[in-house]
Amino acid sequence: MTSSEILFDSPADPVVEGPVLQVEDLQVSFPSEAGRVHAVRGLSYEVSPGEVLGIVGESGSGKSVSSLAVMGLLPPSARISGSIKFQGRELIGRSDAELSKIRGRRISMVFQDPLSALTPVYTVGDQIAEAILVHRKGSVSKAAAAKRAAELLDLVGIPNAAERAKAFPHEFSGGMRQRAVIAMAIANDPDLIIADEPTTALDVTVQAQVLQLLETAQEVTGAGIVIITHDLGVVAGFADRLMVMYAGRAVETGKVDDIYSQPRMPYTLGLLGSIPRLDVGEKQALVPITGQPPSLTDLPPGCPFAPRCPMVVDACHTAEPPLINVDGSAEHHAACIRTGEIAATDTEGAEAAAEIFGAEVVEAAEIAKVPREERRVVLGLDALVKEYPVNKGVVFKRRVGTVHAVDGITFDIREGETLGLVGESGCGKTTTLMEILGLEKPMGGEISVLGTNVSELDAKRRKAIRRDMSVVFQDPMASLDPRLTIHDVIAEPMQVHGYGKDEINRRVPELMRLVGLRPEQLSRYPGEFSGGQRQRIGIARALALEPKLVVLDEPVSALDVSIQAGVINLLEELKSSLGLAYLFVAHDLSVVRHIADRVAVMYLGKIVEIGDVDSVFEAPRHPYTQALLSAIPIPDPAKERQRERILLTGDLPSPANPPSGCRFRTRCFLHASLPPEKQRTCIELEPPREVQALDHEAACHFAQIRQVL
Amino acid sequence: MAGFLLRRLVNYVVLALVATFLAFTLASVTFDPIGVLEQRKPPPPAATIEAKRKDLHLDQPIPQRFVTWMSGVVRGDFGHTITERPITDELGRRVGVSLRLFLLGITLGIGFGVLLGVVSAIRQYKFSDYFATLFSFVLLSTPVFVLGNLLKIGAQDINDAVGTNVLLFVGETTPNFQGTWFEHLWDRLQHLIVPTLTIALGQIAYYSRYQRSSMLDVLGSDFLRTAQAKGLTRRQALFKHGLRTALIPMATLFAFGFGLLVVGGTFTERIFNWFGMGHWLIEGISTQDTNVTATVTLFVAVCVLFSGWLADVLYAALDPRIRVN
């Protein structure tokens, strides 16, 4: 058998007509201390050959559980009923041995976190080869499988595939590992690929690459694809049909265009309205879906979304609404008794959501009306440098190189202003933050806070100046001490700075109200709060000392979209009412576009483009900014299909050994298209930051506007 | 990697030297062999005592005594016991006796300990898990001398039931045994079973607890799910992907466990009258014999450090992530 036959063999069984996967009234429940958790409650769907079905929902909506049920990978404690038919054959009730013949052969799966999805102790090549060998024992030799593994790695775009197949997972970046997992998934030419949040943990540029790869995988294998995500943007351009899940059930299904343009269930509306849009210039009202998904142990009768629904009426509480046809289409279903009324409104999509959910655009602060030049500089960085030594040797350490983590960056933030700092992971964003928060004398350059140069500070003044600056961290689970009550968490900064007891007891409840939480909950512990609420607590703590500047390190990236919208709105309100300045570090450019006034794009320790957010997003000058922007999916299927993606090749080069001249040139599409003499300029000369327009600078020798939205 | 292991080895030689020096010094300071001699009734003549003092180099300062002894050790001569027998002659036999017991005990201990831990983890909160937990805790809380004696009684019962002495538990071989090499082997084996079991049972209990928890960490991991998604059955995934990864944190435990066993094996040797190294150490201390004490300490140090070195090798073999430079 030749290697190409392995990939594109004709299936032994005749191709069954009809859908590849047919799920009928699927129910999954788990035992828990609080009672049985009904994670999936009567789910039905089907996937046709070659079709892409997107499953969308918040965490806990049952989307992953239902797919694991298809794979037969649920823990033994799960109770499953209903029917899962794969190519007409029932899967429920089959033994592990029987299912393992189908898993990886006919149905394969791509998981969420590529960092932990591969076994650390075997080479990537071996693990891919194993996927082939386990199904073809005897017919394929080990050597042939290894060769095939290298070919598959090449197919998924790993350069030097034969060489890299011998590498271990830890030697691969996150994006490369996800490629390897996809290579594994397509190794046996499956008929169905289930991708469970395949891009969630990845950078936007890598996300675009992986989505592209999944499309390729589908073309190569002709498989049906189920893509699970919480991000409506990701599936807009990729999926054919969509199923929105809530509390273990489908609440809306239909063609992707129908659902995006005419959502007919308030939850879908809310999801659509909660996404900040990259392609919307004017301030957009973000829809927060208040509350939390219901507990699935003991659901009250009626619509499970009712407690969070703005359109709720008494009738909603009597019975759970079934999926019904809407808009006279047999393909579009929604589970809402008032779907007719939604259809009757004049507005559609996100606008309708804003109207129904009553979301409003947050007013700009008073201070923001003053021209920028006249406002005070809150934070100034001038040619900031931070380097780390690279050491070798165990007993005798010797320096063998330097990581240029931050290599001369300059920007300032003025009163009442938000600067978004964006870039891929590893570009130096976090290092910059840590340098600012450390308030120590930098290795090179200057940091000044409210006009004071931090290298001149003594210990006492440094402490005093810390009051003017606070931070909110990315992970709300890890950034609150689980053994302190909320009161103590919020009071701690004030205690450190010597506030009186009365003052603290007065301010803590005030801060709770400020971030939209109830002061009665102060005696509780962080564990009793949801992610969004914890992030609000983190914000309350940051505001305790009435700072002028709040540094936000990816404050919403760990939150579900619907929760994210609420936190973004809160940040905007606080900024407006308290006149705060934000340094907002994020990798999600849509969020930055929504919240920031100015944006700085970082690449390998340098700022490549900086300026007014509208100017940078609408007329990006630097190829890297253009690539980043084009990688962000827009939740609009029609627009998304027409967009031309700039795909960056490969990963970020090592900051220990950055390319000469322009650091971006190794991945730059513009550089690649230039004649050799112009390319030489990129290789030899480092491009200076030059003014491109009013409040807009970029560092590219051949800067030109390219519209990418 | 080879360079790294070689450097480690050199470090270990220095450490072994330091450990032995400390033991030698401590023994020299506290032991008083001349005092023992002087208290004999009738007291030996002064000339004899003086000759003994000279013979034991007690007229020299301790560091010099150590250097004298050590330079002998380097040439393969470990000096004399207090009763004038050359240590070197006995050393080989005693090391052989101890290692035979310990190596077999720990191999069985690790093998069955890992197996029990894995089974326990896979069947968490099932009967077999509870049973394994109970078994481990009972054994871990039983002192070796109690366990050894209980096993002796049990062995005697078995012998009585069978009607002939199948299991022997005094000494490592029958004195003055005559027979073919096969009969010799069988005789040694009969002596080996009960003492080995004494050591192995404790080791099984110990390792199974650690293996259980490290396996539980791996059971929920994503890569195990990936392996199953590829088409491996749960069992295949567990043993090929799970166990290998779960063994990594065990490497250090295995290696140093062996080092400590050599020390702890003293009891077992005493209970079963095996004239091994542990037995010798106690003998050396009770006869105030510095050379024997230092020799046994050196042996233990070498065992511990070799085990540490083995841990490094094991780590490198199991975990590619540390296999750099």
- pLDDT tens-digit profile of A198-210? 888 788 888 888 8
Residues 235-264 of B with CB under 8 A from A: 235-236, 241, 244-245, 248
Closest alpha carbon within chain B to A112 = B222
For residue B15, list chain A residues with Cβ-Cβ distance below 8 A: none
Q: Is the peptide bond before B42 cis (omega within 30 degrees of 0)?
A: yes
Q: Do residues A230 and A292 both lie within one domain?
A: no
What's the structural domain count of chain A? 3
* A184/chain B closest Cα distance in angstroms: 7
Residues 83-112 of B with CB under 8 A from A: none
Q: Read off the pLDDT of each residue in A628-641 and give the average, rounded to a whole number.
A: 88
Q: Do residues A294 and A403 both lie within one domain?
A: no
> What is the SS3 string spanning A40-93?
EEEEEEEECCCCEEEEECCCCCCHHHHHHHHHCCCCCCCEEEEEEEECCEECCC
- Topology at the third CATH level for domain B92-271: MetI-like fold (1.10.3720)
| A135 lies within 8 A of chain B by CB | yes
- Which of A555, A588, A613 is the endpoint of a domain? A613
Q: Do residues A350 and A425 both lie within one domain?
A: no
* A119/chain B closest Cα distance in angstroms: 5
| B227 lies within 8 A of chain A by CB | yes
Euclidean distance between CA atoms A362 and A612, whole angstroms: 19
Q: Which residues contact B167 (CB under 8 A, 6 or more apart)?
A: B155, B158, B159, B190, B193, B194
H-type alpha helices, A358-458:
429-438
Euclidean distance between CA atoms A116 and B223, whole angstroms: 6
Q: Provide the token pair at A536.
A: 């609000």
Closest alpha carbon within chain B to A185 = B230
- pLDDT tens-digit profile of A511-556? 999 998 889 889 999 988 888 889 999 999 999 999 999 999 988 8
Q: Do residues A48 and A13 both lie within one domain?
A: yes
| A119 lies within 8 A of chain B by CB | yes
Q: Read off the pLDDT of each residue in B87-107 and give the average, rounded to a whole number.
A: 89
From the number of C-beta atoms within 10 Å of its C-beta (0-12, 13-18, 19+), residue B53 rates as middle
Euclidean distance between CA atoms B111 and B118, whole angstroms: 11
Q: Do residues A347 and A391 both lie within one domain?
A: no
Q: Do A184 and B226 touch (CB under 8 A)?
A: yes
> What is the SS3 string spanning A499-559?
CCHHHHHHHHHHHHHHCCCCHHHHHCCHHHCCHHHHHHHHHHHHHCCCCCEEEEECCCCCC
Q: Which residues contact A605 (CB under 8 A, 6 or more apart)?
A: A404, A405, A406, A407, A408, A409, A427, A428, A431, A655, A658, A663
| Greatest extent of chain B over all pairs of C-alpha atoms, in Å | 86
Which CATH number fits the domain that encloses residue A98? 3.40.50.300
Q: How many CA atoms lie within 13 A of A536 on its CB side?
A: 24
Q: Where in chain B is the domain with CATH 1.10.3720.10?
A: 92-271
Euclidean distance between CA atoms A121 and A132, whole angstroms: 19
Q: Provide the token pair at A317.
A: 């509480």
For residue B226, list chain A residues with Cβ-Cβ distance below 8 A: 111, 117-119, 181, 184
In a domain, A387, yes or no: yes
This model of the complex carries an ipTM of: 0.80
Q: Do residues A60 and A163 both lie within one domain?
A: yes
Q: Do A113 and B222 touch (CB under 8 A)?
A: yes
When scoring B226, B321, B323 by the number of chain A Cβ atoms within 10 A, the one with the most, hence best to mutate, is B226
Q: Do A100 and B232 touch (CB under 8 A)?
A: yes
Q: Do residues A148 and A192 both lie within one domain?
A: yes
The shortest CB-CB distance from A73 to any of B225, B235, B318 is to B225
- pLDDT tens-digit profile of A106-120? 999 998 888 889 999
The CA–CA distances, whole Å, from A76 to A234, A587, B35 equal 32, 38, 73
Q: Do B318 and A121 touch (CB under 8 A)?
A: yes
- pLDDT tens-digit profile of B11-22? 888 988 998 999
| B231 lies within 8 A of chain A by CB | yes
- What residue numbers bound the domain in which A191 lies? 3-239
- pLDDT tens-digit profile of B69-88? 999 888 988 888 888 888 88
- pLDDT of A537 reads 94
For residue B4, list chain A residues with Cβ-Cβ distance below 8 A: 394
In this structure, of A133-137, A378-382, A391-395, A572-576, the range with the lowest mean pLDDT score is: A391-395
| B219 lies within 8 A of chain A by CB | no
Q: Do B231 and A116 touch (CB under 8 A)?
A: no
| A117 lies within 8 A of chain B by CB | yes
For residue A113, list chain B residues with Cβ-Cβ distance below 8 A: 222
Q: Do residues A383 and A353 both lie within one domain?
A: no
Q: Do residues A302 and A387 both lie within one domain?
A: no
Q: Do residues A179 and A305 both lie within one domain?
A: no
Confidence of residue A15 (pLDDT cuts 50, 70, 90): low
The shortest CB-CB distance from B231 to any of A103, A121, A393 is to A103
In this structure, of A24-33, A583-592, A635-644, B38-47, the range with the lowest mean pLDDT score is: B38-47
Q: Do residues A318 and A445 both lie within one domain?
A: no
Q: Do residues A347 and A419 both lie within one domain?
A: no
| B7 lies within 8 A of chain A by CB | yes
Q: Which residues contact B268 (CB under 8 A, 6 or more apart)?
A: B101, B144, B148, B195, B198, B199, B274, B278
Element (H, E) at A422: strand A418-422
pLDDT above 90: percentage of residues in chain A: 46
Q: Do A104 and B222 touch (CB under 8 A)?
A: no
| A397 lies within 8 A of chain B by CB | no
